[in-house]
Structure 1
Amino acid sequence: MSYTLGVDIGTFESKGVLVDGEGRIVAHATRPHEMLVPRPGWAEHRPEEDWWGDLVAISRALLTETRIDPAGIACVAVSAIGPCMLPVDGAGRPLMNGVLYGVDTRATAEIEELTARIGAETILERCGNALTSQSVGPKIRWLKRNRPEIFAEARKFLTSTSFLVHRLTSEYVIDHYTAANFSPLYDVATLDWTTEFAGDIVGPDRLPRLLWSAEIAGQVTHAAAAATGLAAGTPVTTGTIDAAAEAVSVGVRHGGDMMMMYGSTIFIIQVTDERVRDARLWYAPWLTPGSHASMAGLSTSGTLAHWFRDQFARDLPRETAFAMLAEEAAASPPGAKGLLFLPYFSGERTPIHDPRAKGAFFGLNLTHSRGDLYRAMIEGIANGTGHVIETYRDLGQAPRRILAVGGGTKNPTWLQAISDIGGVPQIICEETVGASYGDAFLAACAAGHARPEDIEHWNPAVREVTPERHAALERQYRLFRKLYEQTKDIAHELG
């Protein structure tokens, strides 16, 4: 029996699975870590401790639990949050904390300057995406401007996954799906790095080599084997961003298939038959040549649940707090007694791309309970997600089917609110562990032990959430949209 290993590094937790040739999980492990917020608008991880440290600990835990001979692992695949920005020196050592994906909004000025200089239409056409807080190029420019000593010392600029693959194999690689988020440094027409639009930021020689996600990047080195317990020489794939691996895990393959990922953020990936051009969404080549993906994501969702628990549920046992809060929310009626919530605690990504947006509870009165607030928070996230689904419909890209995955699928109120407000059914598959399972499947494909269509047998659908109509939720969605528009000037002035 041969096995594949998948490890995913998330915003607050890392997960790993060992999977046999039939797709059965024989062991899984998790490891928590924190997201650092050194100042408002910034979000960071410690690459040695939170990325590499988690991968090492999880690999060793899985091997210890199962007592599997490491030589029996046919292939390893990793994914991680992204796109991130991490400068490393000539030996691959991090020169600072990793700057996280769109939740980190430090490069707002650089986004505005680059957009004005290059032109919004040129960027959208050639790079596939408008410059937003999700873009890595402006963050590298921010580093060059604000930390010139680090920029000068940096030999390579990596994302989280490419850092992990380098630690495993000594190779500097990145998949095309992730690279498309390095705008304006990646050209979606040529599928290559470019200096045409912002050559003064950084040259291609300081960026990783481009590959497809399931291509073998290299083999586990002796040093990595000593750290992780894996066998030296084990093949390692190029890897990808966690959300893409999450989509793979539930069988998102065909045009019109959409993944709804319930994690620290809501993240959406829809495979499309052709490239979708719209500044409100993101575009990237999908994981194999000739395929396309259209993406969207909120800045905060599961992160808000952590915030709410830590600030308003300190009386509840930490290990059961989320379940107890979900029960309190379920006792509140749809519409949370007229309470509105804007989930823009770290600005907002799609579709409004407003890094200066602010979070808010609106409509509070003396009858509102903690359960009402928690329900309003859930429905605010669902309203933001509904806004994204409405955007897809406006573009003629209404999803053919939605596959939900992630830890938030354990919260029935959250699932139902998104179906109700978005007017869409959601399919839940048997395995909801997510990205690490998708990694293990990609590793199996890379090793020649599985075909892309086999995921439907590895992880079959088991149930469906169907939308219900509630007049209160329809009213709340309309007012949610108005509340942002009518208060955004105040939010911007608050700074």
Structure 2
Amino acid sequence: MTCTLGIDIGTFESKGVLVDAKGRVIAEARHPHEMIVPRPGWAEHRADEDWWHDFVHITQSLLDRSGIDPNDIAAVAASAIGPCMLPVDASGRPLMNGVLYGVDTRATREIEDLTAQIGADTILDRCGNALTSQSVGPKILWLKRNHPEVFAETAKILTSTSYLTWRLTGEYVIDHYTAANFSPLYDVETLDWTRDLAPGIVDLGKLPRLLWSTEIAGRVTARAARETGLAEGTPVTCGTIDAAAEAVSVGVRGAGDMMLMYGSTIFIIQLTESRVRDPRLWYAPWLFPGQHASMAGLATSGTLTHWFRDTFARDLPRGEAFVTLAREAATSPPGANGLLLLPYFSGERTPIHDPRAKGAFFGLNLTHDRGDMYRALIEGIAMGTAHVTETYAEAGAAPSRILAVGGGTKNPIWLQATSDFTGLPQIVCEKTLGASYGDAFLAAVAVGRAKPDDIGAWNPALRTVSADPAPVHARHYALFRKLYEQTKDIAAELDGEE
């Protein structure tokens, strides 16, 4: 038997899967970790303990459970949360915790300074994206300004997937899709690092080598083989960001296809015929040459459900809490008995790009219970998602079909609320394993054991969630939009007190 291995490192949990040549799952494994929040607006992971340790643990678990001979693994592909910022020294040792993606808003000043220095129009034209909390370039500048002693020792700036690939192969690489998030250091027209926009951020020699995600970055080294149990010499792909692998896993492969990922954040990827130029959305070259992707993401989604569980459901057994909360939310009607939630608990990414935005429950009265609050939380995330899909339509890129994936697809209230507020149906595929399954497929593509269009046979559609909006959905969405506009100045003033 020959198979491929895919492993994904998420915000709160890592997952891995072994898949045979027809896409059948041989074994799967997962391992939890925590997101570190040292102060408001910051979000971090430990590169060794959270990223590499999880990769090793999951690989060993999969080999043990499956009984597969490591020599029968044709290729390995990894994905991870991104884009992240991790400085390492000349030996590849992490010099600090990895700074996470857009949920980390520490570089707000650097975003403002670079935008003023370069010009918003120039950045959008050359980099494809306005500078936001999702951009890695400002975070590198933050490191240079605030920790010059660490910056001086830095030999490479990596992201999460780059670090895993280096641990496996000894090669410092990054795929073009991920690199596009390093604005203003990556030019989407030349598909290369750029020196002229902001030469004062970092020497480009400290950035990884650019590859396409299915190119072979290297092979498993002897040291990595000893640590993981993989066979020395096994091909390893360049890898990509988790959301991209997740999109692949459910069949996003042509223009008009949109992935809606229900994870620690809501993340959206839509393939388009040509580059979408809109400062409210992100752009990147897709995983294969000649294809284009337009992205969006909320700052807190699944993370917000974890916060609610840990804050308001401490009385519930941890393993049963989400099931119980969903059951309680089902007793609350659409509209949550007049309760609104702004889900901006870590600021917000698309489409408002406001790192100073604040979360809020609005409309509370003495009749509301936990079920109403959890329903309002789910609907607040759904309305944030509707704001994004509305933005795509305004940008001339309305989706032709939506494929839903991620842990939130197991919550029928969340799925239905999203369709009801967006007015759009969602397809749920047979397998909802997510990014690790997409990684295994990309590994098969990389070594010629599958073609990109084969994912439809690997993971066929299972069901469709149809939109069934009621008047309350339109009314609450309008109030949701109004509530942010009328409170954003207060939120910014509160931000100045932190």
Q: TM-score, normalised by structure 1?
A: 1.00
Look up the SS of the partner of 1:320 in the other structure.
helix
Once the two structures are superposed, what CA deviation does each residue of 1:81-116 show, in whole Å capped at 9, x if it has no partner? 000000000111100000000000000000000000
Q: What is the aligned partner in structure 2 of residue 21 from structure 1?
A: 21
Look up the SS of the partner of 2:14 in the other structure.
strand
Query: Structure 1 CA distance, aligned partners of 2:456 and 2:253?
Result: 10
Displacement of 1:203 in angstroms is 1.8
- 1:289-308 residue pairs with structure 2 within 5 A? 289-308=289-308
Once the two structures are superposed, what CA deviation does each residue of 1:10-57 show, in whole Å capped at 9, x if it has no partner? 000000000011101110000000000000000000000000000000
Query: Structure 1 CA distance, aligned partners of 2:251 and 2:42?
Result: 34
Answering whether residue 239 of structure 2 is matched by residue 260 of structure 1, we say: no
- 1:245-284 residue pairs with structure 2 within 5 A? 245-284=245-284
Q: What is the aligned partner in structure 2 of residue 319 from structure 1?
A: 319
- 1:122-161 residue pairs with structure 2 within 5 A? 122-161=122-161
Q: What is the aligned partner in structure 2 of residue 173 from structure 1?
A: 173
Alignment gaps of 5+ in structure 2 = none
Q: In structure 2, give the amino acid aligned to 1:147.
A: H
Query: Structure 1 CA distance, aligned partners of 2:369 and 2:399?
Result: 36
- 1:45-444 residue pairs with structure 2 within 5 A? 45-444=45-444
Displacement of 1:352 in angstroms is 0.1
Q: In structure 2, give the amino acid aligned to 1:2.
A: T
Displacement of 1:441 in angstroms is 0.0
Q: Which aligned runs of 4 or more in structure 1 are off by greater than 3 angstroms?
A: none
Once the two structures are superposed, what CA deviation does each residue of 1:221-251 show, in whole Å capped at 9, x if it has no partner? 0000000000000000000000000000001
Q: In structure 2, give the amino acid aligned to 1:481.
A: R
Alignment gaps of 5+ in structure 1 = none
Look up the SS of the partner of 1:96 in the other structure.
coil
State the superposition RMSD in angstroms: 0.4
Query: Structure 1 CA distance, aligned partners of 2:213 and 2:333?
Result: 44
Q: In structure 2, give the amino acid aligned to 1:493.
A: E
Query: Structure 2 CA distance, aligned partners of 1:408 and 1:69?
Result: 34
Percentage identity across paired residues of the two chains: 75
Look up the SS of the partner of 1:337 in the other structure.
coil
Q: In structure 1, give the amino acid aligned to 2:131.
A: L
Q: In structure 2, give the amino acid aligned to 1:98.
A: G
Query: Structure 1 CA distance, aligned partners of 2:442 and 2:106?
Result: 34
Answering whether residue 453 of structure 2 is matched by residue 453 of structure 1, we say: yes
Q: In structure 1, give the amino acid aligned to 2:396.
A: G
Once the two structures are superposed, what CA deviation does each residue of 1:356-384 show, in whole Å capped at 9, x if it has no partner? 00000000011101000000000000000
Displacement of 1:473 in angstroms is 1.3
Once the two structures are superposed, what CA deviation does each residue of 1:300-339 show, in whole Å capped at 9, x if it has no partner? 0000100000000011111010011001111100000110
Look up the SS of the partner of 2:337 in the other structure.
helix
Displacement of 1:395 in angstroms is 1.2
Query: Structure 1 CA distance, aligned partners of 2:159 and 2:123?
Result: 21
Displacement of 1:3 in angstroms is 0.5
Q: In structure 1, give the amino acid aligned to 2:343.
A: P
Look up the SS of the partner of 2:319 in the other structure.
coil
Q: What is the aligned partner in structure 1 of residue 463 from structure 2?
A: 463
Q: In structure 2, give the amino acid aligned to 1:22.
A: K
Q: What is the aligned partner in structure 1 of residue 472 from structure 2?
A: 472
Query: Structure 2 CA distance, aligned partners of 1:463 and 1:231?
Result: 39
Query: Structure 2 CA distance, aligned partners of 1:323 and 1:403?
Result: 23
Query: Structure 2 CA distance, aligned partners of 1:468 and 1:438?
Result: 31
Query: Structure 2 CA distance, aligned partners of 1:272 and 1:396?
Result: 10
Look up the SS of the partner of 2:357 in the other structure.
coil
Query: Structure 2 CA distance, aligned partners of 1:241 and 1:85?
Result: 13
Query: Structure 2 CA distance, aligned partners of 1:349 and 1:395?
Result: 17
Q: What is the aligned partner in structure 1 of residue 12 from structure 2?
A: 12
Q: What is the aligned partner in structure 2 of residue 43 from structure 1?
A: 43
Query: Structure 2 CA distance, aligned partners of 1:222 and 1:279?
Result: 45
